Amino acid sequence: MLRFGMRASRLLSILMMLQNRGRVTAEVLAEAFEVSVRTIYRDIDALSAADVPVYADRGPGGGFQLLDGYRTRLTGLSPAEAETLFLAGLPGPAAELGLADLLATAQLKLTAALPERARGSAQKIAARFHLDPVDWFRSADTARLLPAIAQAVWNETCVDIRYKRGTGAVARRLRPLGLVLKAGTWYAIARVGEQTRTYRVANILDLTATDQRFERPKDFDLVRFWTMSTQAYEIGLYRADAVLRLSPQGLARLDGLGAAVQQAARDSAGPPEKDGWVRVTIPIESIDQAAVDLLRLGTDAEVLKPATLRRRLAKAAREIVRLYA
């Protein structure tokens, strides 16, 4: 997908081939990587510029080879480091980004470069652990425009998008800074004017790449931005509190309402009553959303406050009775 990534992959492959085979001719390298001999010479120049001690032997039987005793730092990986690299590869997200082939190639090269003992251990990890980032009863968002956004992130070029908002759409020119995969959903982090915002990739209706380049802020830290923005979002989501009585089963089922709600219930829980029920205080987003959430607990939860939420649930209960009468 990315030209830089493809060339970097080829350079690493050439380096590993020279390390494993010794002397190799330009013609053999060109045939192996399906490029011209001229391209191979440029690649060798790039390796030399990166302080890799590769040199050419002229005449019959000549070719390129590494200085005697030179080994890439890659072979210095410890077994634990190699295992971690194999565990980190997510084939699904890599495919969505257009990088599946590069990921597979990189893992093959890593396997070939490892000492025999570490190689077996790393392959054992890959065969026994699989990372699935999508939650239960959900499918991953379709992200057909993801490769185009990733290209813009890599090349630091602007994109024009139409973004779904409510029942309509808005047009924006983005300066994309990064991509985040959370629970099977891709998000693009981008500058719009003087603000840094988050866009759900599946909600991007159309995208047009531009040739306009932008300068990525030197102090921008993607992980730090995402961590802080998600914490602020979760804190700002709750605007009020509700007081409940919960049965032991209801208390156990609060985990379905989120970690913040569950923790608040634990912190505020009073002593159990004779029947085992407890009184707790939990944060809520709104009366409407809290009514939907608490109906899931059925008769294992009773709302004491606020009165408006109690009335809303009582009304919903009456309507359910009428429906099934």
**Residue 175 located in a structural domain:** yes
Count of structural domains, the chain = 4
Q: Are residues 207 and 159 in the same domain?
A: yes
pLDDT of residue 33: 82
Q: Please enumerate in sequence order all residues whose Cβ is within 8 A of that of 299, keeping only pairs 6 or more positions apart, or say none.
A: 247
| Model pTM score | 0.56
* Sequence letter at residue 76: G
Q: Answer whether residue 193 shows pLDDT above 60.
A: yes
pLDDT of residue 42: 86
Give the C-alpha separation, 76 to 147, whole Å: 33
**Residue 139 located in a structural domain:** no
Q: Can you give 176-211 as a three-state secondary structure string?
A: EEEEEEECCEEEEEEEECCEEEEEEHHHEEEEEEEE
Q: Are residues 247 and 318 in the same domain?
A: yes
Place of tokens 């999508």: 134
**Residue 185 located in a structural domain:** yes
pLDDT of residue 208: 96
pLDDT band at 4 (very low <50, low <70, confident <90, very high): very low
Q: Are residues 285 and 320 in the same domain?
A: yes
Q: For the residues 187-198, what does the mean pLDDT come to?
A: 93
Give the C-alpha separation, 201 to 45, whole Å: 40
**What are phi and psi for residue 321, nearest 5 degrees?**
-60, -45
Q: Are residues 101 and 26 in the same domain?
A: no
pLDDT of residue 272: 92
Q: Answer whether residue 90 shows pLDDT above 60.
A: no
pLDDT band at 184 (very low <50, low <70, confident <90, very high): confident
Q: Are residues 267 and 299 in the same domain?
A: yes
pLDDT band at 140 (very low <50, low <70, confident <90, very high): low
* Domain containing residue 247: CATH number: 3.30.70
Q: Answer whether residue 3 shows pLDDT above 50.
A: no
Per-chain mean pLDDT for the chain? 80
**Residue 135 located in a structural domain:** no
Q: Are residues 87 and 67 in the same domain?
A: no
**Residue 217 located in a structural domain:** yes
**Residue 138 located in a structural domain:** no
pLDDT of residue 1: 41
pLDDT band at 9 (very low <50, low <70, confident <90, very high): low
* Domain containing residue 195: CATH number: 2.30.30
Q: Answer whether residue 100 shows pLDDT above 60.
A: no
**Residue 137 located in a structural domain:** no
Q: Are residues 83 and 49 in the same domain?
A: no
What range does the domain containing 115 cover? 74-128
Over residues 16-46, the pLDDT tens digits come to 788 777 788 888 888 888 888 888 888 888 8
Q: Are residues 243 and 320 in the same domain?
A: yes
Top pLDDT among 183 and 250 is at 250
Instruction: From 202, 231, 260, give the residue that closes a domain.
Output: 231
Give the C-alpha separation, 43 to 149, whole Å: 28
Instruction: From 200, 231, 262, give the residue that closes a domain.
Output: 231
Q: Please enumerate in sequence order all residues whose Cβ is within 8 A of that of 87, keeping only pairs 6 or more positions apart, or say none.
A: 125, 126, 129, 131
Indicate the range of 130-139, 195-204, 245-254, 285-294 predicted with least confidence.
130-139
Taking alpha carbons only, the member of 160, 138, 142 closest to residue 201 is 142
Q: Give the Å distances, CA to CA, from 72 to 10, 122, 167, 191.
A: 15, 19, 55, 39
* Domain containing residue 16: CATH number: 1.10.10.10
141's tokens: 């968002």
**Residue 305 located in a structural domain:** yes
pLDDT of residue 2: 41
H or E segment and range at residue 7: helix 3-21
Q: Are residues 159 and 225 in the same domain?
A: yes
Q: Are residues 254 and 211 in the same domain?
A: no
Percentage of the residues of the chain whose pLDDT score is greater than 90: 36
